[in-house]
């Protein structure tokens, strides 16, 4: 379930802000937990408890030709999307929304962006390096533009709630969704948005802030 | 992006773009066949490829051009489907 309309998210943010003010005056309420984002995606019931699937392990190259695995992103919230450089329709707008998220969290080292190309044949490390440079991204450790084995990327896309398929009849040769997905430090999906809908991305930004609050307060994520 | 400003140095703007204003006869071919190589817009050189959108009809391309010619404060005139057909013949 995904409970967050913009109003709901605003309420939560105000609630959290209010709590921090009240709690600075009364030490007794430090144990109060704010509302938490649920884990999302497929799950199995084991002994009556929901067991969610984390995003699988991966090994891809970024724009600096560094190999990036989940281990390199330890302790960071991942904001992921799937695109390709020559994409004529939805990617430009999707990447503009990713850029907006990047700018909101430009000073927050615990948030990292991952843009995976679904056209690794053309989008080489060099092509991605140029693309990142053109976008003004000088520090690859803040926003990785990832390429690698096509099948691995397409399977990974499934985990991130994205669909990527080669389709010669589609504009640019690929069909794909424009979903932006937020993964917590344990590898579980906690929020997602349609990257073409500004209001959904606004909610996503608020949800990333909630996750940071959760990290600040050492709250364990929900099972 | 949706405001016609492009995407930094990767995608040139359409809003207030001198290229759009001066190279009207090239726009239809770019929409259908894409764009590869350097393109200079408002004094800035862009060199990222864009795929064409082959599914658009001549009529739809004309409508698109008439839209971008008048969106975001642009005032670059109207095109006719016949003109667009001619241009698309020439860039085959």
Length of chain B (residues): 92
Query: What number of other Cβ atoms are within 10 A of residue B25's Cβ?
Result: 14
Strands annotated E in chain A:
43-46, 49-52, 60-61, 67-68, 77-83, 111-117, 143-146, 164-166, 174-176, 179-183, 189-194
pLDDT digits 0-9 by tens, A122-164: 999 999 999 999 999 999 999 999 999 999 999 999 999 988 8
A173 vs B55: CB contact, 8 Å cut-off? Answer: no
Question: Is pLDDT above 60 for A78?
Answer: yes
Question: Is pLDDT above 90 for A37?
Answer: yes
Cβ contacts below 8 Å, chain A against chain B, sum to: 52
A171 vs B50: CB contact, 8 Å cut-off? Answer: no
Which of B1, B8, B55 minimises the CB distance to A93?
Answer: B1
What pTM did the predictor assign? Answer: 0.81
CB A59 within 8 A of CB A149: no
**Secondary structure of residue A179 in the 3-state scheme:** strand
Q: What is the rounded distance in angstroms from the CA atom of residue A153 to the CA atom of residue A118?
A: 7
Question: Is pLDDT above 80 for B83?
Answer: yes
Domains of chain A: 50-216 (3.40.30.10)
Q: What is the rounded distance in angstroms from the CA atom of residue B44 to the CA atom of residue B47?
A: 10
If residue A125 lies in a helix (H) or strand (E), which one and from where to where? Answer: helix A125-135
């Amino acid at each position: 379930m995904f409970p967050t309309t913009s109003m709901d998210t605003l309420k939560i943010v105000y609630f959290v802000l209010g709590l921090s003010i009240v709690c600075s005056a009364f030490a007794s309420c430090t144990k109060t937990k704010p509302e938490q984002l649920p884990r999302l995606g497929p799950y199995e019931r084991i002994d009556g408890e929901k067991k969610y699937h984390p995003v699988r392990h991966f090994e891809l190259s970024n724009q600096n030709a560094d190999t990036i695995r989940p281990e390199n992103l330890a302790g960071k919230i991942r904001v992921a999307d799937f695109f390709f450089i020559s994409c004529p329709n939805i990617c430009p707008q999707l990447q503009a929304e990713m850029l907006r998220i990047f700018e909101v969290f430009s000073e927050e080292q615990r948030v990292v962006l991952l843009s995976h190309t679904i056209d690794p044949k053309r989008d080489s490390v060099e092509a991605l390096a140029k693309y990142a440079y053109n976008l003004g991204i000088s520090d690859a450790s803040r926003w990785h533009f990832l390429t690698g084995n096509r099948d691995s990327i397409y399977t990974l896309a499934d985990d991130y709630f994205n669909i990527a398929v080669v389709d010669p009849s589609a504009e640019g040769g690929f069909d794909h969704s424009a979903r932006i997905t937020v993964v917590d430090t344990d590898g579980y999906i906690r929020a997602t948005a349609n990257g073409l809908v500004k209001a959904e991305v606004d909610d996503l930004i608020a949800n990333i802030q909630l996750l940071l609050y959760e990290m600040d307060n050492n709250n364990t994520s929900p099972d | 992006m949706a405001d016609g400003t492009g995407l930094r140095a990767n995608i040139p703007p359409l809003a207030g773009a001198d290229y759009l204003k001066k190279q009207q006869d090239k726009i239809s071919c770019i929409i259908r066949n894409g764009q590869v190589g350097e393109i200079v817009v408002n004094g800035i050189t862009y060199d990222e490829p864009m795929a064409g959108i082959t599914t658009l009809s001549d009529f739809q391309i004309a409508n698109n051009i008439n839209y971008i010619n008048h969106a975001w404060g642009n005032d670059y005139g109207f095109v006719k489907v016949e003109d667009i057909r001619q241009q698309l013949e020439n860039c085959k």
